[in-house]
Amino acid sequence: MTLNELSGHVAAEFQKHFGRPPRWIVAAPGRVNVIGEHTDYNDGFVLPMAIERYAVMAADSGSSSFTVYDTHFKESATIDVSGPVTKGQPKWSNYIRGVLAGFQDRGVKIPALDVAFMSTVPLGGGLSSSAALEVCTATLVEAATGQTIDPVEKALLAQKAEHDFAGVPCGIMDQFISTMGREGHLLLLDCRSRKTELVPMRDPSVELLVVNTNVKHELGSGEYAKRRAECEQAASILGVKSLRDATAGQLEKAKGKMSEVVYRRARHVIGEIERTTHAAEGIRNSNWPAVGQLMYASHYALRDDYEVSCQELDTVVEIAESIGVNGGVYGCRMTGGGFGGCCVALVKAGAVDAISKKIAAEYKKKTNIEAAIFGSRPASGATIIKG
């Protein structure tokens, strides 16, 4: 569904449910991270792009509460905005509640609104469906109150919602790209300075394919916090503020002072930060074989050193490698937090159909699971479609 079709659909659902047309329509995309994994909370670089999958909200003024109707699950959340917004039910409403509370903290009065909501970002697939929902909510508040905030502030507000209301200690990547993505571009984000650079990706000869393994292993959330702690430990042993400040040489010298596991975690992060800036250079020069090799190297480090991959993700990467450059695949890696979710593959545009069929068939044969595969051009970040 294009964004136009999707927003038309949500507007029609609003009309059906609330009996009048919406006054505002807003959208925010999910993302796929091309490279730079588990580097954001180490002050490193990330290189994500917004994808053509969106959270969309259609809304009008309401009578008392902030009411959100999820048009897919046919479930409503009624959020009391007469005082400070608190955590509550249903569970998914906490992403919205957290954002509303963030605006209240900045002195913004949240209006009573009727909202219809739908998302085409696969849930729990590692494509930042929660960041899309948070940034979509923030964009709706901006549209409805006329009080816009600086994009960096907006992304940080959404990240805080995820920390405080969903209990996920995420970095800043997902909310930044959902806020600041630009059509035809990847976003090179320096997570220390929060400076962004748009890296054009318009070469029609290549495409990024997202391969959803359709598995999500539960251990993910606890392991994420554990990885963060291990990185902090490595930084403190190395005597640096964060792993961004450490070099591979320093790490080798200090190897004896840390456990083997902490050493490997740091080796991934230090290597990945370097790979990310090299990949951005490769993309600027349309050096696709080089970018592809960096993606594979990223995957191996995430699999062997950082240990956040899983059998299904590894299977997709192995299939991609077996197709090879001759078959049209430059590179492939797991993307996002890991423990399931998606891989991203850099492929020759002319071979997309053949590659998708081959990956789907082989993956099914090896795992007995149906993968979901789609291509996406780099999409734009959060937008006000109407209002």
Catalytic residues: 174
How far are the Cα atoms of 114, 131, 260 from residue 69, in angstroms, in the given order?
8, 18, 49
Checking DSSP bridges between strand 113-119 and strand 66-70, what pairing results, if any?
parallel
Q: Smallest distance from the beta carbon of 310 to ligand GLA, in angstroms?
A: 14
Residue type, 347: V
Angstrom distance (rounded) from CA 352 to CA 376:
11
DSSP class of residue 337 equals S
**Residue 194 neighbours by CB under 8 Å, 6+ apart:** 152, 172, 176
Taking CB under 6 A as the binding criterion, the range among 21-29, 38-46, 61-69, 352-360 that sits at the site for ligand GLA is: 38-46
Q: Smallest distance from the beta carbon of 22 to ligand GLA, in angstroms?
A: 30
Task: Please report whether residue 170 would count as binding ligand GLA according to CB under 6 A.
Answer: yes
Taking CB under 6 A as the binding criterion, the range among 34-42, 58-66, 104-112, 252-260 that sits at the site for ligand GLA is: 34-42
Q: Smallest distance from the beta carbon of 167 to ligand GLA, in angstroms?
A: 13
- C-alpha 299: how far from chain center: 17
Considering the complex, state which of residue 265 and residue 348 has its C-beta at the smaller distance from ligand GLA.
265
Task: Please report whether residue 37 would count as binding ligand GLA according to CB under 6 A.
Answer: yes
The torsion angle over the Cα atoms of residues 96, 132, 298 and 308, rounded to 10 degrees, is 40
How far are the Cα atoms of 77, 229, 306 from residue 243, in angstroms, in the given order?
41, 12, 14
Closest Cα partner for 54 from 386, 383, 387? 383
Total residues interacting with ligand GLA, rule: CB under 6 A: 10
Task: Please report whether residue 341 would count as binding ligand GLA according to CB under 6 A.
Answer: no
Angstrom distance (rounded) from CA 186 to CA 202:
10
Considering the complex, state which of residue 159 and residue 214 has its C-beta at the smaller distance from ligand GLA.
159
Task: Please report whether residue 336 would count as binding ligand GLA according to CB under 6 A.
Answer: yes
Work out which of 271, 337, 340, 381 binds ligand GLA, going by CB under 6 A. Answer: 337
The answer to whether residues 309 and 293 touch, using CB atoms and an 8 Å cutoff, is no
**Secondary structure class of 44 (helix, strand, coil):** coil
Q: Smallest distance from the beta carbon of 385 to ligand GLA, in angstroms?
A: 26
Task: Please report whether residue 305 would count as binding ligand GLA according to CB under 6 A.
Answer: no
Considering the complex, state which of residue 10 and residue 342 has its C-beta at the smaller distance from ligand GLA.
342
Task: Please report whether residue 174 would count as binding ligand GLA according to CB under 6 A.
Answer: yes
Backbone angles phi, psi at 118, to 5 degrees: -150, 150
Considering the complex, state which of residue 33 and residue 356 has its C-beta at the smaller distance from ligand GLA.
33
Residue 125's CB: how many other CB atoms inside 10 A?
22
- C-alpha 35: how far from chain center: 12
**Residue 171 neighbours by CB under 8 Å, 6+ apart:** 40, 41, 46, 159, 191
Considering the complex, state which of residue 37 and residue 43 has its C-beta at the smaller distance from ligand GLA.
37
Considering the complex, state which of residue 83 and residue 222 has its C-beta at the smaller distance from ligand GLA.
222
Taking CB under 6 A as the binding criterion, the range among 83-91, 135-143, 167-175, 377-385 that sits at the site for ligand GLA is: 167-175
Q: Smallest distance from the beta carbon of 304 to ligand GLA, in angstroms?
A: 17
Closest Cα partner for 84 from 57, 61, 109? 109
Task: Please report whether residue 41 would count as binding ligand GLA according to CB under 6 A.
Answer: yes
* Chain length of the chain: 387
Work out which of 7, 35, 38, 380 binds ligand GLA, going by CB under 6 A. Answer: 38
Question: CB-side exposure of 300: number of CA atoms within 13 Å?
Answer: 10
Element (H, E) at 82: none
Task: Please report whether residue 334 would count as binding ligand GLA according to CB under 6 A.
Answer: no
Q: Smallest distance from the beta carbon of 341 to ligand GLA, in angstroms?
A: 9
Considering the complex, state which of residue 24 and residue 165 has its C-beta at the smaller distance from ligand GLA.
165
**Secondary structure class of 142 (helix, strand, coil):** helix
Q: Smallest distance from the beta carbon of 41 to ligand GLA, in angstroms?
A: 6
Q: Smallest distance from the beta carbon of 334 to ligand GLA, in angstroms?
A: 10
How far are the Cα atoms of 88, 170, 172 from residue 222, in angstroms, in the given order?
22, 12, 18
Task: Please report whether residue 40 would count as binding ligand GLA according to CB under 6 A.
Answer: yes
Considering the complex, state which of residue 91 and residue 163 has its C-beta at the smaller distance from ligand GLA.
163
Taking CB under 6 A as the binding criterion, the range among 36-44, 85-93, 181-189, 214-222 that sits at the site for ligand GLA is: 36-44
Footprint of ligand GLA (CB under 6 A):
37-38, 40-41, 170-171, 173-174, 336-337
